[in-house]
Amino acid sequence: MYIFQGNFKFPYSNMSLSILISSLTILTQMTLSHIVRTQISKLVKHDLLREIILEIVASAELCGTCYELIIIADNYGVLAYALYLFLMTIWWSKSWGTATACPYNLLEEYVEQGTDFKTVGLKIGAQTFGGIASFRWVKQLWMLEMAATHKGRGVEDCSADLQVPFLFGFLIECVLTCFCRLFSRSLGELEPKFSNIIDSFFATSMVVLAFNYSGGYFNPVLATGLKWGCKGHSNTEHVVVYWAGSILGSMLSIKLWNNQMVKEKLVNSITPVMTKLKPSKEEEEKKED
């Protein structure tokens, strides 16, 4: 039995081996990143330097693993991509600690908590560097062509995921980023059990919703690490869609969240479901202990 992908004909067994290799590639990067992160947290005593390095590591891990997710999406479909992304985001919520690998999280801290702007700028620079640098080792892995699905990927030109006019792409990234941030804030307010799993499921659903239109990045560093300079949009369009779009969506979520009426409606709309997942008194007491 053969499966046709593009100009290549792969035996079914090769496709099974390819998904295994892609899975191991992702797992290896995540494991190594976790080890590096643990050592940095122990060895680097200077707070700001440690935080900057951890942002580089998290952003490199994010983009490096998501390069392999592109392979999975192209060859096994969006549902396989969504499953992997869902599981990975749960892991990242546990593993990254204070690192975010996302510029608008830092900008939210600046707006809401008055974080030093120079510190925010340094961290965003570190995130961008980590995201862009990740392709160096991904390219080398792909050029080994250990999997049939890696064939030619290390040398071919990339293509943009933006499949709609860039202003529509801007609106998609803006609005859905806003939805994701508002949902996360609502979960933070209600504190249900499994909140990180629920948040990951919602965010992954939004990615799937936007997948065939803007790519559903909702993170400027991820979009830049994977798609900067790709055919299909100009650099200006890239900045407008993936940087301005998601950052504006994040800032809009702050504005809406600070409106008491909007906040109450949002929280009340998901309260009936989330109260069923509320930790019991015994579990809360255990947490405090």
The 3-class secondary structure across 225-255, one letter per residue, is: HHHCCCECCCHHHHHHHHHHHHHHHHHHHHH
Mean pLDDT for 132-160 is 88
What is the predicted pLDDT for the residue at 274? 73
What is the predicted pLDDT for the residue at 6? 42
96-137 pLDDT, tens digit per residue, is 999 999 999 999 999 999 999 999 999 999 999 999 999 988
What is the predicted pLDDT for the residue at 8? 40
Which residue is listed with tokens 């081996």? 17
What is the predicted pLDDT for the residue at 2? 44
Answer yes or no: is pLDDT of 262 > 50: yes
Domain ranges for the chain: 2-94+116-150, 166-281
Answer yes or no: is pLDDT of 282 > 70: no
Q: How far apart (Å, rounded) are the C-alpha atoms in residues 25 and 19?
A: 10
What is the predicted pLDDT for the residue at 54? 98
DSSP state of 275: G
Residues whose CB is less than 8 angstroms from the CB of residue 21 and which lie 6 or more positions away in sequence, other chains included: 146, 147, 150
176-211 pLDDT, tens digit per residue, is 999 999 999 999 998 888 899 999 999 999 999 999
Task: Provide the β-strand partners of residue 159.
Answer: 231
DSSP string, 140-208: HHHHHT-SGGGTTTTTSPPB----S-HHHHHHHHHHHHHHHHHHHHHHHHH--TTHHHHHHHHHHHHHH
